Amino acid sequence: MITYFMETISKNKVYVTRKIPEPGPSILKKYFQINMNPKADILDRDTLLENVKNVDALICMLGDNVDSNVMDAAGPNLKIISCYSVGHDHVDIYEATKRKIIVTNTPNVLANTTADLTFSLILSAARNIVNADRHVRIGNWESGWSPDLFLGYDVYGSTLGIIGLGEIGTLVARRAKGFDMKVLYYSKNRKYEIESELDITYVPLEELLQRSDFVSIHVSLNRDTLHLIDESKIKLMKKTAFIINTSRGKVINEQDLISALKNKLIAGVGLDVYENEPISKSNPLTQMSQTTLLPHIGSATFMTRSRMAEVAANNVVNFFNGKGILHKVN
């Protein structure tokens, strides 16, 4: 029975668009014919279209743009697209669903790591960490210390506004309590249990923007959250407030954000995500001193990336061995 079963599933072909860490490849090799891009870099489009031919499963990630062309190139065998990420906006979910292709992601395992990075952006933005580091490195400190050198804003005791109280938003709230912050949140659905456990307060979005010193975004990107933060919303914020975004760039209208920073409507931003990634050196955000900018590294720790590879691989294994589909997003 078991032998028969293993033979059945081992015929399935899996393509992994970029090198993922162990234990992902070992798990997949046990059950499938696996072909993995040996490099972690993004594939050019033609190679991607060629390599997905006739696969039964695809493991893909940020930047891959898995649209109808990729699904057509794979052909009718493709049954599951397993994202090596929690966000899945790089997959055309509508097209996948139309073709009865299951799409999965890697929730849970990266939430604490991303909440840590969110906090590092809050602290870096408030205290000029990156600008100050640069100042020391290029020798400017040699001109001496002064009492107004890199004045910033207190994080402790300030008000944090969390937009989207999902897994990551909740873990950011938990950390904020350690900094004696007052925590407000806005979410599509009120989360009464978390409110009382963490002593945080639900407010409408407009009020959150008016009252917060740090506004941190933790919603997923969808029709309702596209450009949720635009000029009209930024105008509600305090001039001394910061926006932190570790979710998806398109939740903010980036042109509006750039004008707001130029016009000093807010004090600054800490960003890990952008409307179009990667951003180029000519993006005005890179020329401003009020911006702390990271290259989309929210989940980038050795431990978490291994756990994500394990979950992404097991999502494919569980699908084919009939154990039930976990982490399905469509």
What's the min distance (Å) between Cβ of 113 and ligand GLV?
Answer: 10
Contact region with ligand GLV (CB under 6 A), list: 94-102, 185-193, 194-202, 316-324: 185-193
Q: Which of 85, 112, 113, 170 binds ligand GLV (CB under 6 A)?
A: 85
Beta-carbon contacts of residue 158 (< 8 Å; ≥ 6 apart): 181, 182, 213, 214
Q: Could you confirm whether 248 is annotated as catalytic?
A: yes
Q: Which of 30, 134, 188, 262 binds ligand GLV (CB under 6 A)?
A: 188
Q: Could you confirm whether 277 is annotated as catalytic?
A: yes
Spell 239-257 as b/e; 16+ CB within 10 A means b.
eebbbbbbbbbbbbbbebb
User: Tokens 């431990």 label which residue?
Assistant: 303
Element (H, E) at 3: helix 2-10
* Three-point CA angle 249, 209, 237, nearest 5°: 90
Q: Which of 161, 164, 249, 268 binds ligand GLV (CB under 6 A)?
A: 164
Q: Which of 28, 80, 86, 311 binds ligand GLV (CB under 6 A)?
A: 86
Q: Which of 187, 216, 292, 315 binds ligand GLV (CB under 6 A)?
A: 187
Q: Which is nearer to ligand GLV, 29 or 188 (CB)?
A: 188
Contact region with ligand GLV (CB under 6 A), list: 63-71, 83-91, 171-179, 231-239: 83-91
- For ligand GLV (CB under 6 A), the number of binding residues is 15
Q: Which is nearer to ligand GLV, 12 or 112 (CB)?
A: 112
Q: Which of 296, 305, 307, 327 is catalytic?
A: 296
Cα(94)–Cα(101) distance, integer angstroms: 10
Q: Could you confirm whether 7 is annotated as catalytic?
A: no
Residues 25-54 that bind ligand GLV (CB under 6 A): none
Q: Which is nearer to ligand GLV, 24 or 166 (CB)?
A: 166
Q: Please, are residues 224 and 232 in contact by the beta-carbon 8 Å criterion?
A: no
Sheet holding 214-217, edge to edge: 201-202, 182-186, 159-163, 214-217, 242-245, 268-271, 291-293
**Residue 245 makes contact with ligand GLV by CB under 6 A:** no
Residue type, 73: A
Residue nearest to ligand GLV (CB): 87
**Helix boundaries (H) for 253-301:** 254-262
Q: Please, are residues 117 and 294 in contact by the beta-carbon 8 Å criterion?
A: yes
**Residue 110 makes contact with ligand GLV by CB under 6 A:** yes
Residues 249-308 that bind ligand GLV (CB under 6 A): 298-299
Q: Please, are residues 151 and 289 in contact by the beta-carbon 8 Å criterion?
A: no
Q: Which is nearer to ligand GLV, 79 or 305 (CB)?
A: 305
